[in-house]
Amino acid sequence: MPVFAAFFMLFAMANCGLPGTSGFVGEFLVILGTMEENFWYAFAAASTLVFGAAYTLWMIKRVVFGAVANGRVAALTDINAPRGLVLGLVAIAVLAMGLYPRPFAAVLQTSVSELLTLASQSKL
């Protein structure tokens, strides 16, 4: 199942925060915002990202490159055209969000600004 494995690897690497994918933008913004508040919280967040990436790579090694231990899995065929089209569109979206995130961030700007304004007001 080489096509499915390629999509699986792309989405797993986006989950790890590979630069150029949507996961990187989110993780970078979280660490950047946390760094402004407290260095040690940002350090803890970054270290958990490293552990998450290590686990994801270990999982890819076992799932994609490991031996097939189940006969039902060995009988599976690669994805067909409609599923490939859907996964291809999602892959394009993941790469688009990672390479040029401004349009996606602009949509959130108004609601995030309003949320920060409400959060900064005293509740008493």
Query: What is the C-alpha separation between 29 and 112, in angstroms, rounded?
Result: 13
What is the full per-residue pLDDT of the chain (124 aa) written as tens digits?
889 999 999 999 998 888 888 888 888 888 988 998 899 999 998 898 889 889 999 999 988 888 888 888 888 888 999 999 999 999 999 999 889 988 888 888 888 889 888 888 877 7
Domain count, the chain: 1
| Segment 69-93, tens digit of pLDDT | 888 888 888 899 999 999 999 999 9
pTM of structure: 0.76
- Picking from 94, 89, 74, the residue whose alpha carbon sits closest to that of residue 12 is 94
